[in-house]
């Protein structure tokens, strides 16, 4: 059996992409807010059910720009969680702000809203929630806390393409949400990402920040960066928009197979998404509890021995990174749920073309540990 990866990129038919590339070559317009860029930006408003979309060359630069666009005071504190990808706290730090790490909820694994207020100081400027694996943060409670303390709210929605809460696009919660369109994400533009937001006043600011702050040939309004998505990326996105739903349907079948076959296995917990939330089908995480016969790390190695690559996502926690662990606040931080779950979560292979043979093998390995 060939190596099984934790995910595979969604790819359109190559001939369709070649046709797109030909058009781009003929137009001789490769980047700088071209035709494909505009088309993708507009289409995504409907897909994500949001009033404003700004495309970016990747999700990290998008998140970096989101923090910048909100004019948070230099040196201020942003409350987030260490149960995320490195980009989340790094974007805070690159903005000259300080990531303050809060614990997570055991079920949805997002920021623990009952603990956020413990971390609020006069220096706090924002909350940056991460919708981990597609599980949305408790957006209502976060909004309530933010209003009470006059804080901005940013969401890292890298895993929540197309997610809705009670029919409302997840990108409409908080001040700004970032989506990643990296090759490993359900919907990809090879590399790429976007910001979504309700406030029309942010359109101009984000447009400028993404383009070196340049407004016109002679006017530079902001200290911007180069965050522009190019036409080849946008073309990939337009084609993948036609097929991402079919991929989600295939992943739904795989999810049902996993759910049905894993549910009864002693020592494995399946985190549940609430009924009012649509699944983005980005990841399939399982939690290996103490009463499972082997540890998560051992199980990961066993899968590797069978050429099945799973992911200890998110291990290590960001608070374990060399660049954060020596911070006094990090050393003193009380993060029991993160420190427990970082050793227990395993993301299983999850993509539409997984065969029944492979799925049976994966479940067989999970059941076979004694």
Ligand X SMILES: Cc1ncc(COP(=O)(O)O)c(C=O)c1O
Q: Which of 7, 54, 58, 125 lies at the binding interface for ligand X (CB under 6 A)?
A: 58
**Can residue 65 be called a binding residue for ligand X (CB under 6 A)?**
no
Count the residues of the shown chain that bind ligand X, applying the rule CB under 6 A. Answer: 13
C-alpha torsion sign, points 147, 152, 158, 161: positive
CB of 189 to ligand X, least distance (A): 9
**CA distance linking residue 74 with residue 92, whole number of Å:** 10
Q: Which of 34, 59, 237, 285 lies at the binding interface for ligand X (CB under 6 A)?
A: 59
Q: Which of 193, 224, 227, 352 lies at the binding interface for ligand X (CB under 6 A)?
A: 193
> 231-241 vs 14-27: helix axis angle to the nearest 10?
140
Cα–Cα nearest to 366, from 273, 266, 249, 271: 266
CB of 22 to ligand X, least distance (A): 27
Choices 80-88, 169-177, 253-261, 264-272 (CB under 6 A): range interacting with ligand X: 80-88
Residue 143 tokens read as: 């909004």
Question: Which stretch of DSSP H or E encloses residue 215?
Answer: strand 214-216
Q: Which is nearer to ligand X, 179 or 258 (CB)?
A: 179
Q: Which is nearer to ligand X, 55 or 287 (CB)?
A: 55
Residue 70 tokens read as: 């909100």
* Sequence-distant (≥ 6) Cβ neighbours of residue 86 within 8 angstroms: 318, 321
Q: Which of 41, 103, 112, 156 lies at the binding interface for ligand X (CB under 6 A)?
A: 156
Q: Which is nearer to ligand X, 87 or 287 (CB)?
A: 87
Cα angle 328, 87, 270; round to 5: 95
Locate all alpha helices (DSSP H) within the chain, ordered by sequence: 14-27, 35-48, 59-69, 87-94, 139-149, 202-210, 231-241, 244-262, 296-305, 322-325, 328-332, 336-341, 356-368
Q: Which of 126, 142, 158, 346 lies at the binding interface for ligand X (CB under 6 A)?
A: 158
Q: Which residue has the tokens 């949400």?
A: 177
Asked if 128 contacts 145 with a C-beta cutoff of 8 angstroms, the reply is no
Q: Which positions from 88 through 107 interact with ligand X, judged by CB under 6 A?
A: 88
**Can residue 84 be called a binding residue for ligand X (CB under 6 A)?**
yes
Choices 57-65, 200-208, 244-252, 317-325 (CB under 6 A): range interacting with ligand X: 57-65
**Can residue 34 be called a binding residue for ligand X (CB under 6 A)?**
no
**Can residue 286 be called a binding residue for ligand X (CB under 6 A)?**
no
**Can residue 6 be called a binding residue for ligand X (CB under 6 A)?**
no
Q: Which is nearer to ligand X, 33 or 128 (CB)?
A: 128
Site residues for ligand X per CB under 6 A: 58-60, 84-85, 87-88, 130, 156, 158, 180, 182, 193
């Amino acid at each position: 059996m060939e190596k099984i990866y934790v995910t595979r990129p969604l790819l359109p038919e190559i001939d369709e992409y070649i046709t797109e590339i030909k058009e781009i070559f003929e137009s001789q317009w490769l980047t700088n807010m071209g035709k494909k860029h505009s088309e993708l930006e507009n289409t995504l408003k409907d897909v994500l059910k949001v009033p404003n979309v700004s495309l970016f060359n990747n999700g990290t630069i998008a998140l970096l720009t989101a923090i910048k666009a909100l004019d948070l005071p230099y040196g201020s504190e942003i409350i987030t969680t260490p149960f995320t990808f490195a980009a989340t706290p790094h974007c805070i730090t690159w903005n000259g702000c300080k990531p303050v790490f809060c614990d997570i909820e055991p079920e949805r694994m997002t920021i623990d809203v009952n603990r956020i207020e413990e971390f609020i100081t006069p220096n706090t400027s924002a909350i940056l929630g991460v919708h981990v694996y597609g599980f949305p943060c408790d957006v209502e409670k976060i909004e309530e806390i933010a209003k009470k303390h006059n804080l901005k709210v940013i969401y890292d929605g890298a895993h929540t393409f197309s997610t809705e809460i009670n029919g409302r696009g997840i990108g409409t919660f908080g001040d700004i949400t970032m989506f990643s369109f990296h090759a490993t994400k359900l919907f990809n533009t090879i590399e790429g990402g976007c910001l979504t937001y309700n406030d029309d006043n942010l359109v101009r600011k984000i447009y400028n920040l993404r383009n070196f702050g340049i407004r016109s040939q002679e006017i530079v309004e902001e200290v911007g960066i180069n965050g522009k998505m190019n036409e080849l990326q946008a073309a990939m996105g337009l084609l993948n928009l036609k097929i991402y739903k079919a991929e989600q349907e295939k992943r739904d079948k795989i999810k049902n197979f996993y759910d049905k076959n894993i549910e009864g296995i002693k020592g494995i917990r399946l985190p549940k998404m609430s009924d009012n939330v649509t699944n983005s089908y980005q990841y399939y995480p399982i939690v290996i509890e103490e009463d499972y016969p082997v540890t998560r790390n051992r199980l990961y190695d066993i899968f590797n021995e069978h050429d099945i690559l799973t992911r200890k996502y998110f291990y290590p926690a960001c608070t374990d990174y060399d660049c954060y662990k020596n911070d006094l606040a990090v050393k003193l931080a009380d993060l029991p749920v993160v420190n427990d779950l970082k050793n227990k979560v395993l993301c299983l292979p999850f993509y539409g073309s997984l065969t029944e043979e492979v799925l049976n093998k994966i479940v067989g390995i999970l059941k076979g540990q004694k």
